[in-house]
Structure formats: structure tokens, C-alpha cells
Amino acid sequence: MNSTNRQAAWASDPRWARAKEHATRGEVLHAEVLLRGLLAEHRDCTPARLAVADYMVERGDLEGALQWLRTSQADDSDGKLGLAVARLLSARGDPAAARAALEAVLLRQPRFLEAWLMLGEVCDVLGDTHAALRARNRLFVEANAQGRWISPETTEPQWQHAVHRSIEAYRRDKRERLFAAFAEVRERHGAESLRRVERALTGYLREWDARPPDARQRPKFFWFPDLPPGPYHDPMLQPWAATLRDAWQDIRDEAVELLREDRDFESFLGLKPGHSVRTIAECVAAANDKDDLRSVETRTSLIEARLIIGDEKLFAKFQKIVLAKCVTKYVDKYIAARLNDQAAGTLNRRALS
């Protein structure tokens, strides 16, 4: 019998409905007797076991409630009993034991938001702010993935205060830890020389709107502010760019000479000179990808590619196909895009001048 059928069995038991009716009227003793009888047949009825534990706590029998929840007959596949045990341990004044209980729950149920939330609070009580920060980071990663606790509308009323408190603690501790690590570097090099770095850190902490002015500047992780407004970096802004351009033929000749020698070059891609990383068809697809904001840049890089060493026939075929499928059919659009890039480069130079 699967878990769904087992749940249906206890959910349809008349004692479950009658116990809820008694509890609503405040007849706790009658409700508890019914729930205990229900659990004798359906030990996997977690809501009934949690309710009986609550009644025991209300009577002041905290130790009895702990023993009741820890019974070997209980089924804690979803981690809710373990969370309840951690709460009782915390209420008893034993945060270390509560932490151990929560960590055991999270080993089985790593996506259990309520357990991550409480673990952050318990680690705070223990003075382990680093562990609290890690727990809260995991909490918010999981919450975003599940679409829960990301706004007042997605947060259950009974959790809103605790979630808000956790968000504030996470922001505070994250900032303190980040700037504590930054302080040594700032002291060594001076605050003024690291002004942009500090501004980047505050943007990362969302203390101001750090979104780049152009979507094509959007980083994968970390963005430095005060960049030129153009979508692409203009390599000719670098003081060494012209020298490198003028020395191209000498660099090529030297590279060819080295590659012809019997040398054991280390290749991080596991490739040897002449091996292709992409097929010609894949190059064409990347250059013509309408969904890729960098496709014009990719197309230009392919057009300006130069052969250093390798299969000359394959390279000639590559050039012919790229021109035919990436440029000839899109001459007007390509020229317009290149002019936009050049205009952006002009703006970059003015911004840096």
C-alpha cells in the first residue's frame, strides 16, 4: 500500500473528524482519547501525533511529549515530527540538542523550509552566526526554487513574522561578514582606491539598484558599477590594444614556430592544434542565434578569425560557409549592428576620457 492510500485510510476514519469536532469545542480530553485510538491503527497519522503532543505540552508534560514524538512507532518520513522535537528541545532550553535534531531532519528532507528557518534561529542562540548565515542562505535558495516565502502573498500568515525576522538577520549578518573580509584589503590598499569595489559590494547586497544600464552587460554573478554605457567592451580602449594589433603577424609566426617544435604543450581542453571545438554548423547557429544578445559579436569574431595552424582546407570551408550563411544574407542588418557597436565604442571612449 503506498503512502497516498495510507493517508486516505486515516483521513477517512470517523475518529479523525470527531476528534477535530471535540477540539473545536475545547473538549481536549475527548479529542486526545480519539486520536490515541486512531494512532493505534494508523501510526503514520502525523497530524494526530502532533496534536496529542500539543495537548501534553499544554498540560505541562513537556518530557512526555518529547518521548511521545520520539517513539519508534512514529513515521517521520516528512520530517515534521523531527521539527516538533526540535521545538520542544528549544523550549526546554537545550538549543544544542535542537540543532542536532534539525540537522538530522535536513539530512533526510533537505528542502524542508521550516527546518532551515528554525536552524538559523537556533544557531543564533548558540552564537554560531556563520552557521546561521549558511542555514538562511540555504533557506532562501530553497524558498525561491519552491516559490514559497518570496512575498507576503506566498508566505503563510503563521510564518510571516519569523520569515521577516530571518530576512533581516540574513541581510545584517551577510553584510557584516562580507565587509569584515573586505576590511583587511581596504586597510592595505586604501578606501579611495577601492571605492568602486565597495560600491559593487553594496550593490550586490541590494542596498541600491545595481542593474547594469544595458541588459547585455548583465553578469552571471557580480557586476562592477560605473562601466561605460555601451553593451560591449571595446578592446581598443586598452592602451596595449594597438601594439597587439600591429604585432599580429610576428605573434602568429612565433606561435606557428613553437607549435611545429616537438613540445608537450598542456591543453586545458584536452585538444591538440587543429582539433575543432565546434562544427561549422554550430558556428553558424551561434552567429545567427536571435535569442543571444551577443550574436553580432559572435558573428564578427568568426568573420575576423585567422588561421594560425591546422587544416587549411577546413578553415577555408569554414570562412566560405560563414560568409554565405551569416553575412551575405544579412548584409544590411549586419552593417547596421556593426555601426551600433562602433557608436557604442565612441561613447565608451568619451566616458573614459
Q: What is the pLDDT of residue 274?
A: 53
pTM value?
Answer: 0.61
C-alpha to C-alpha distance for 83 and 119, rounded to whole angstroms: 10
Helices 129-146, 113-125: inter-axial angle, 10-degree rounding = 160
Coil/strand/helix, residue 18: helix
Choices 3.30.420.40, 1.20.140.10, 3.20.20.60, 1.25.40.10: CATH for 3-163: 1.25.40.10
**Positions of CATH 1.25.40.10 in the chain:** 3-163
Tens of pLDDT, residue by residue over 276-288, are 567 888 888 888 8
- Cβ(15)–Cβ(34) below 8 Å: yes
In 3D space, the residue among 36, 30, 82, 89 whose CA is nearest the CA of residue 62 turns out to be 89
Kindly give the parts of the chain with pLDDT less than 70: 1-8, 72-74, 232, 261-277, 290-295, 338, 341-353
Q: Is 138 exposed, middle or buried (0-12, 13-18, 19+ CB in 10 A)?
A: middle
Beta strands (DSSP E) in 139-283 are none
Tens of pLDDT, residue by residue over 188-234, are 999 999 999 999 999 989 899 888 877 777 777 788 888 777 776 77
C-alpha to C-alpha distance for 309 and 274, rounded to whole angstroms: 7
Beta strands (DSSP E) in 81-154 are none
C-alpha to C-alpha distance for 345 and 192, rounded to whole angstroms: 28
**Amino acid (one-letter) located at 141:** V
In 3D space, the residue among 274, 256, 267, 283 whose CA is nearest the CA of residue 314 turns out to be 274
